[in-house]
Structure 1
Amino acid sequence: MPFDAEPQPRALPDVTATGLTWRAATTGDLDNWAGLIARTAAVEHPVWFEKRGDLVHVLESTKNDPRTSTLLGIDSDGVARAYGRIVKNPAGDKATGMGCVDPDWQRKGIGTAVLAWQEESARARFHADTAAGHTTSPPRLRILTEEQHHHQAALFEAHGYQTVRWFNEMHRPLTVPAPEIVLEPGLELKPLDPTLHEAVRLAHNDAFRDHWGSEPRDREAWRFTMEEPSARHDWSAVAIDRATGEVAGYQLASYDPDSAAARGFKEGYTELLGVRRAFRGRSIAQALLADAMRRFKDAGMDIASLDVDSANPTGALALYLGMGYQPVNRSMTWEKLL
């Protein structure tokens, strides 16, 4: 455990009111915790949900002490029935919340109890980070949901949250051949390999400086990105400036076999796509996407997919439409100033 000091206590949800015993998650809870999320996903059918490997990363975090940033609700048989957590960078202007309630335990006020704990935990994190001189931002909590999950929308609206951003999930059938995009002389595509990970991290932080809600990723956060259980480095690529060796752009891909089984098709997913400001307008993003499509197709995927901020300032939505992607689902970010 990387945290030496004893954590400041947080008020836990009421046992009598919820019928659950509440505590922070530990490594001994991983299977129980992942099982809760999988049961919920089997009923609610989210596009993506956290797996055991993702939860391992949650408990390994050196910035978000799992003793105060995670919450599990356990029934009398020892089965996890609800969970919540928050994430915040010390200098960040927001906390982000995640969580779920077992479908058999919904409509009992448990979601409200988890949300109240998330809000209190976010306030405490902002207070501590402000006292340490990391931030002066007012506390705010953001939570991402899919448009299809009306029960979540009702919960957040009832507690003063507002929708502040919309995102589109986009698909492109791989039965249509990938376009031929020729890079300018002096630029070349290379497969992603470990020697490029740090350079790609720096390129990502540069490329996403003007993206809403984005914060720089430090080495820990980037290691978690590179080690995501669904990451496919063999389907990922980097655009290099031959003259300087600088990373101009990158495409990081992933594949989730559980999603393929649930949704009935196999998708190569572009997890992150970025082009550094100095290299924009040179068809690098198009070349990376076309390369990804060919890699996905060769691997037996049915579609290429990605998500895009509907108000992205770089014109990404128009770029994807021009490459043959079409919107299929929407999600939204809810926010509340605490």
Structure 2
Amino acid sequence: MDLTWRPLTLEDVPALTRLYAAAEEVDRTGDHFSADDLREELEAPNVDLARATIGAWAGERLAGYGLIRRRDAANPVHMVRLQSVVHPMHRTQAVGAHLIEWFARTSREVSERAFPGAPLEVHHGLHQNERWMAGVLAGAGYTHGRTMVNMRVTLADLPPQPPLPDGLEAVPYGVEHDLAVLDARNDTFAGHWGSTVYELEAWRHLVTGSKDFRPDLSFLVLDGDKVLAFVLSHFYASEAEATGIREHYASWVGTREVLRGRGVASGLLGHTLRAVKAAGFDRSALNVDVDNAHRALGVYERCGYGVDDEWHVYVLS
């Protein structure tokens, strides 16, 4: 059957939800998205539905899609993020070639609109099991640029957690801290591979304003009004519904340079994990770059996390 290609609209969310479910039956990435999850993602301020998404339709079935997410800064390279999923019945050379051509052309257009003249680099993250798309990207000249790992700890077996250093206190997140937390996030992740700043609109849509954000399970270390360290938490109800496991997700963990090397990150994360366990969660998860410059892998291992699976980032300059 010939495919019809067109940009996505919000009315396509149910079809996109079915596409992800069909792909998960084969790829087993561990991700389960509800229609509300995908709608929130498509409504993000750095997604241009009309000019930076594409869907392939086989009649009423969404056979595959691509999305290009601009970043909030080019410093100096604009590292756009690509996403794609193709239905297992439509993983053909022709579909792969169409997506590759669309990514190349449209990434340049997205970048020029946002940051005219900036060097462009495109990043596509894939679970270790998404081998078909990895092959498509490799065939088009993308290289494996980085490995991220998902780490998990079962809370029933939570080991004794490291304390915060003397004199430091874990303070619950409050909306009055939001701008200070954003400033701390942008500071602590400066220089991390693939990272750039968040602008306020994207931050509030994707992080602290997300329907999945758990401010009651997010904690800060403060110096007056300045945030020195933070753990921000999310809970994805769609995952719990699909798996039967209530999993806390530590979405952002950071410490400013002035406190690094003193056990602040592990102490604040330990405080968070005790609160998460008391709240009735079964497990906690997070994602980290295996080559993280601040040796974060060791921090998380001290809190009981172990590596579960991998995500690979494919890059084309």
TM-score by length of 2: 0.90
- CA shift for structure 1 position 144: 0.5
Which residue of structure 2 lines up, in the alignment, with residue 268 of structure 1? 248
Which residue of structure 2 lines up, in the alignment, with residue 13 of structure 1? none
- CA shift for structure 1 position 214: 0.6
Q: Distance in 2 between matches of 1:270 and 1:299?
A: 15
Which residue of structure 2 lines up, in the alignment, with residue 116 of structure 1? 101
Partner amino acid, structure 2, of 1:79: R
- CA shift for structure 1 position 276: 1.4
Between stretches 202-211 and 186-195, larger displacement belongs to 186-195
Do the aligned residues in 1 keep the contact of 2:72 with 2:196 (CA within 8 Å)?
no
Q: 1:97 aligns with which of 72, 82, 89?
A: 82
Q: Distance in 1 between matches of 2:90 and 2:161?
A: 52
Q: 2:147 aligns with which of 123, 148, 166?
A: 166
Q: Is residue 200 of structure 1 aligned with residue 185 of structure 2?
A: no
Which residue of structure 1 lines up, in the alignment, with residue 191 of structure 2? 210
Correspondences of 1:128-139 after superposition (within 5 Å): 128-131=113-116, 135-137=117-119, 139=120
Secondary structure at the aligned position of 1:295 is classed as helix
Q: Distance in 1 between matches of 2:126 and 2:260?
A: 31
Between stretches 192-201 and 27-36, larger displacement belongs to 27-36
The RMSD of aligned alpha carbons is: 2.2
Do the aligned residues in 2 keep the contact of 1:178 with 1:294 (CA within 8 Å)?
no
Which residue of structure 1 lines up, in the alignment, with residue 19 of structure 2? 36
Which residue of structure 1 lines up, in the alignment, with residue 305 of structure 2? 325
Q: Distance in 2 between matches of 1:230 and 1:58?
A: 12
Which residue of structure 2 lines up, in the alignment, with residue 153 of structure 1? 134
- CA shift for structure 1 position 194: 1.6
Correspondences of 1:258-337 after superposition (within 5 Å): 258-263=238-243, 265-337=245-317
- CA shift for structure 1 position 59: 4.1
- CA shift for structure 1 position 219: 0.8
Do the aligned residues in 2 keep the contact of 1:178 with 1:293 (CA within 8 Å)?
no
- CA shift for structure 1 position 65: 2.3
- TM-superposition CA deviations, 1:146-197 (whole Å, max 9, x none): 1122222211111111101011111122123453444345432121222222
Q: Distance in 1 between matches of 2:132 and 2:58?
A: 22
- CA shift for structure 1 position 108: 5.5
Secondary structure at the aligned position of 1:306 is classed as strand
Q: Distance in 2 between matches of 1:307 and 1:332?
A: 12
Which residue of structure 1 lines up, in the alignment, with residue 236 of structure 2? 256
Q: Name stretches of at least 5 consecutive residues in structure 1 with no aligned partner.
A: 1-17
Report the number of matched residues. 313
Structure 1 residues 87, 294: closer, same or farther in 2, change over 3 A?
Answer: same
Secondary structure at the aligned position of 1:94 is classed as strand
Q: Distance in 1 between matches of 2:25 and 2:213?
A: 22
- TM-superposition CA deviations, 1:26-66 (whole Å, max 9, x none): 22222222232233223322233554334334443444422
Q: Is residue 66 of structure 1 aligned with residue 66 of structure 2?
A: no
Q: Distance in 1 between matches of 2:101 and 2:20?
A: 20
Structure 1 residue runs of 4 or more that deviate by more than 6 Å after TM superposition:
none
Secondary structure at the aligned position of 2:214 is classed as strand
Q: Distance in 1 between matches of 2:316 and 2:114?
A: 19
Which residue of structure 1 lines up, in the alignment, with residue 30 of structure 2? 47
Which residue of structure 2 lines up, in the alignment, with residue 176 of structure 1? 157
Secondary structure at the aligned position of 1:175 is classed as helix
Do the aligned residues in 2 keep the contact of 1:58 with 1:66 (CA within 8 Å)?
no
Which residue of structure 2 lines up, in the alignment, with residue 14 of structure 1? none
Structure 1 residues 282, 98: closer, same or farther in 2, change over 3 A?
Answer: same
Between stretches 173-182 and 155-164, larger displacement belongs to 173-182
Structure 1 residues 255, 61: closer, same or farther in 2, change over 3 A?
Answer: closer
- TM-superposition CA deviations, 1:253-299 (whole Å, max 9, x none): 12223334545643211111111122222322112211221122123
Which residue of structure 1 lines up, in the alignment, with residue 62 of structure 2? 80
Q: Distance in 2 between matches of 1:82 and 1:315?
A: 37
Q: Distance in 1 between matches of 2:302 and 2:172?
A: 24
Do the aligned residues in 1 keep the contact of 2:91 with 2:132 (CA within 8 Å)?
no
TM-score by length of 1: 0.85
- TM-superposition CA deviations, 1:292-315 (whole Å, max 9, x none): 211221232222211110100001
Q: Name stretches of at least 5 consecutive residues in structure 2 with no aligned partner.
A: none
